[in-house]
Amino acid sequence: MKPLKLVLIALVLVLSGFKTPGTFTYTKITHHADSKKLVVEIAFYNQHLDELMSRLTGTETVFDMDIRSQRLEFWKYLKENFHMKVNGKPVNFALKGSYPFGDQEVILLHVKNIDKVKSLEVENRILIDFYPQQQNFIEVSAGAEQFSDVTSADKPEVKFYFARGMSFAQ
């Protein structure tokens, strides 16, 4: 990816913190070679997460439901709208938790038993069904290289290829 594109994506992310939430998510994918797993972090604005849960559950606020029901609804939505293939094979991920980050919530996913990555395909349709202008930024680090791309309604899938089957940076 060209450095200018990376700078523009970073600028959008930084400037969005000073305005009302834009319609995007940010996904970071990292491989931990020692544990042979991919860690996927997806950042949602709290406002969008609240709106999503309200639309999925038909409740005014997420506090109208118990936590277990909220998680089940969110998990179903995530599994329908976020998919990954590693080396051409679909992988299953586990929801491991979340943590707050400013006015965002970061969702943690893990994919186990990943030794090396020759290719990574990500289909990210999160929030596209609710916001026609939705963009989902995806960043992948491999060794000293960084790759990034964007999914949207007209381009829901991105692919990254690694010529030597590199392990991602730790």
Confidence (pTM): 0.79
Q: Is 130 helix (H, G, I), strand (E, B) or coil?
A: coil
Query: 3-class DSSP state for residue 11?
Result: helix
Q: Residue 161's pLDDT band (boundaries 50, 70, 90)?
A: confident
User: pLDDT grade, residue 20 (50/70/90)?
Assistant: very low
How many contiguous H segments (helices) and E segments (strands) does the chain have?
A: 3, 10
Which residues, at least 6 apart from 61, have a Cβ–Cβ distance to it below 8 Å? 50, 54
Token pair 């709290």: residue: 46
pLDDT of residue 6: 52
pLDDT for position 169: 42
Closest CA to 22 of 137, 110, 109: 137
Mean pLDDT of 29-36: 82
Each residue's pLDDT tens digit, 118-159:
889 999 999 998 888 899 999 997 555 678 999 999 999 999
Residue 57, pLDDT score? 82
Residue in the structure block whose two tokens are 């506090």: 63
Q: Which two tokens stand for residue 14?
A: 């930084």
d(C-alpha 131, C-alpha 47), whole Å:
13
